[in-house]
Amino acid sequence: MANTKTPLIFEIIGECKTTKARVGRMTLPHGPVDTPVFMPVGTQGTLKGMLPEQLKAMNLQIMLSNTYHLGTRPGPEVLKKAGGLHKFMNWDRNLLTDSGGFQMVSLLKLAEITEEGVKFQSLNEHKNEVMLTPEHSIEIQNAIGADIIMQLDDVVKTTVPDKERIEESVHRTTRWLDRCIKAHENPETQNIFPIVQGTLFEDLRRISVSEHIKRDVNGFAIGGLSGGESKDDFWKMVNICTDLLPKNKPIYLMGVGFAVDLVVCSALGVDMFDCVFPTRTARFGCALLMTGQINLRKKEYAMDFNPIDKDCTCNTCRNYTRAYLNGIVTDLTVACHLLTEHNLAFQLRLMRTIRENILNGTFKEFVQDFMANLYPDKDYPSWIQDSLSTVNINLT
């Protein structure tokens, strides 16, 4: 019998016998989530060009919303009055919110990181300073009411070589985690995930994991990757973290969404992913395929009366041609919608295929076929060969 006071139950329902991949079912307050899962990113409580009812029809089980945007508009007061973001945006499935820190770093002029929090220069005319503390981040995320909320972390870019600074960020992130847990008002309905930091230093990643697993939390995130480091460094850090983190809780790799990364990192044992890429690239006319991506603005598609992908069952592929999209793809909002729907359907289909193959015991063969499709000349990048060979898949 499920404990109704646990806002996250994670059951592993299948494990790959070759790799570290597994299929799980995560039960959250707003329903089940099948893992490995890709979570698309909505801003201002919406996925650009898609309605919540369309997302439900596509069987999307969880999406991400940005705390920074929601904290600014509509703001925590409106969200509280509305009874939380689920009600406000008419989405009765699961939501995950970030801490707001990363968005602030990318959108505002970063003034200073202190023990108290992250200080920014506001971009309005008064140029006043804004402080995001762990407590403030949780206060906004409590008002939003997402099923999974993220701790505020001290993020150092992977391209920063200063180990002393990175070590400080690891320990500060743990201290901020404790402040977040203390400030959290809804532990029975919202899960806080800690974020493992340490950039590209294995010893610091170990420290970060060993501290975070002492806390009473229901899942973990791997942060600070996918920010300009080499692919070789990227997969090694993911692999170390999935080795060290407990197997009975979901592992979320932040900011990763390219198809090839989803396949490799699922093999390395990651359960959850998010990225703006599939929906953002749609707005530039890019459609995702199992063999890579195509830009529908190109002249070569002007007379191409095939669907984007003949194997895709999404509404766009069933009803529209590449030629139709070619003429309107970046000009009309309807085209933005059509392409966003396809790219989202692509991500969902890829993850469903990964899960089915893990459960059927054919994941290894699936990965080999997927890579052969993507690299028909078999000129596999070395990072893909190396990462897969650590989990016993050889590409020949």
230 is in an annotated binding site: no
197 is in an annotated binding site: yes
**Residues 6 or more apart in contact with residue 71 via CB below 8 angstroms:** 100, 140
Q: How far is the CB of 339 from Zn ion (least distance, A)?
A: 9
Paired residues of 26 in beta bridges: 10, 33
Q: How far is the CB of 166 from Zn ion (least distance, A)?
A: 42
- Give the 3-state secondary structure of residue 252: strand
Closer residue to Zn ion (CB): 181 or 289: 289
Peptide bond into 246 cis (omega under 30): no
Closer residue to Zn ion (CB): 195 or 317: 317
DSSP letter string, 316-350:
HHHH--HHHHHHHTTT-HHHHHHHHHHHHHHHHHH
Residues that bind Zn ion (CB under 5 A): 312, 314, 316-317, 342, 345
- Residue 238 to residue 387: CA distance in whole angstroms: 10
Closer residue to Zn ion (CB): 147 or 309: 309
- Comparing CA positions, the residue from 224, 295, 283 lying closest to residue 254 is 224
102 is in an annotated binding site: yes
292 is in an annotated binding site: no
What CA–CA distances, in Å, run from 133 to 47, 105, 113, 228, 347? 27, 13, 10, 26, 34
Q: How far is the CB of 9 from Zn ion (least distance, A)?
A: 33
Closer residue to Zn ion (CB): 196 or 325: 325
141 is in an annotated binding site: no
> Residue 83 is encoded by which pair of tokens?
């009874």
Angle at alpha carbon of residue 379, lines to 377 and 385, rounded to 5°: 130
- Give the 3-state secondary structure of residue 251: strand
Closer residue to Zn ion (CB): 272 or 317: 317
Identify residue 351 by its one-letter amino acid code.
M
Q: How far is the CB of 128 from Zn ion (least distance, A)?
A: 46
**Range 342-353 burial, b when 16+ CB lie within 10 A, else e:** bbbbbbbbbbee
- Comparing CA positions, the residue from 74, 110, 120 lying closest to residue 84 is 74
What CA–CA distances, in Å, run from 90 to 82, 86, 94, 169, 389? 11, 6, 12, 38, 45
- Residue 55 to residue 58: CA distance in whole angstroms: 5
Q: How far is the CB of 318 from Zn ion (least distance, A)?
A: 8
Q: Which residues are catalytic?
A: 98, 274
| Strands of the sheet with 31-35, listed across from one edge | 9-15, 22-28, 31-35
Closer residue to Zn ion (CB): 68 or 320: 320
Q: How far is the CB of 212 from Zn ion (least distance, A)?
A: 39
232 is in an annotated binding site: no
99 is in an annotated binding site: yes
98 is in an annotated binding site: yes
Q: Please state the residue numbers annotated as binding site for substrate.
A: 98-102, 153, 197, 224
Q: Please state the residue numbers annotated as binding site for Zn(2+).
A: 312, 314, 317, 342
